Structure 1
Amino acid sequence: MEEARIFGDRLEHVHYIVRQGAYAVIINDGMVAVVKTPTGYFLPGGGLEGTETLESCLKREVFEETGYNIRILQFIGRAQKYFYSTAFHDYMASDGFFYIAEITGEQHSVFEKDHELLWIPRKDISKVLLHEHQAWAVEEAFRLFE
């Protein structure tokens, strides 16, 4: 399995709940798609459910959060972020697998009504995204195309 880039401080003697997920970096004219939620700004994507593959998880999550279908173009990399989650009230290890993707087709109904798709300029991404491993993935995606 891909070696992960590590973000955050992993505290000794703390049990972390590991949550594997897949996230999309979608770029259009230098703007990056992010999802605004009640808890912050994130790349579209989320946690694996059941026996899902990373790719099927990513397609499902992006559709639920944005109403768009995507085509996965390229794997960017894997990054883990250790943090205390105020939403889950526990220590979490986000084990993220990041992909460059593009939107295909028209927007459908958004299933998660408290999620809003926004387009953020590259220069503002690190200020906007809640997790730095997601900002890292955005920069890696741009680097792949430079």
Structure 2
Amino acid sequence: MAGVADLDVVAWVLVVDGRLLAVRSRGRDLLYLPGGKREPGEDDWTALSREVREELDVELDRASFRELGVIRAPAHDQPDYTHARMACFTAAHRGEIAASGEVDEYLYLAPADRGLLAPAARAALDLALDHGLLH
């Protein structure tokens, strides 16, 4: 549908022991990647580090911050025809991950668990597979 702008979001792709970190936001049925919508004027680093700090109470490491790729997928729980443009990044972190803010829980998912993920997070999982981060 013409005139519907993509949601501009950033996501943190963290793989530990072959599993992808995912979060469940309050009231949501599917899992998402840590991250979220960019605020006006925020660059990728500023938006992602803020979102991850709010959601998981950890600090991302600026020196290890790398773009993994950009995906576009239908936006879950949004009006019809809405898509998310999600810039995906990897980065090391400092601190112990803990659900915080609007995040009720976090889980580490294997590729076989893809059905638990929202469409954009599924596309990001495929991106991680393509880059050899998951097997």
Q: TM-score scaled to structure 2, two decimals?
A: 0.79
2:66 maps to: 74
Give the Å deviation of 1:36.
Answer: 0.9
Unaligned stretches of 5+ residues in structure 1: 1-12
Unaligned stretches of 5+ residues in structure 2: none
* 2:107 pairs with 1:118: yes
SS across alignment from 1:98 = strand
Pairwise CA RMSD: 2.4
Residue type of the alignment partner of 2:117: L
Instruction: Sort the Cα spacing of 1:41 and 1:108 in 2 relative to 1 into closer, same or farther, 3 A.
Output: closer
1:97 maps to: 87
Instruction: Sort the Cα spacing of 1:139 and 1:90 in 2 relative to 1 into closer, same or farther, 3 A.
Output: closer
Equivalent residues, number? 129
Large movers: runs of 4+ above 4 Å: none
1:139 maps to: 126
Give the Å deviation of 1:142.
Answer: 3.5
Give the Å deviation of 1:135.
Answer: 1.9
Out of 35, 46, 55, the residue aligned to residue 45 of structure 2 is 55
Is the contact between residue 39 and residue 47 of structure 2 (CA under 8 Å) also seen in structure 1? Answer: yes
Sequence identity of aligned pairs in percent?
Answer: 22
SS across alignment from 1:134 = helix
SS across alignment from 2:82 = strand
Residue type of the alignment partner of 2:131: L
In the alignment, the residues of structure 1 paired with residue 97 and residue 17 of structure 2 have an alpha-carbon distance, to the nearest angstrom, of 19
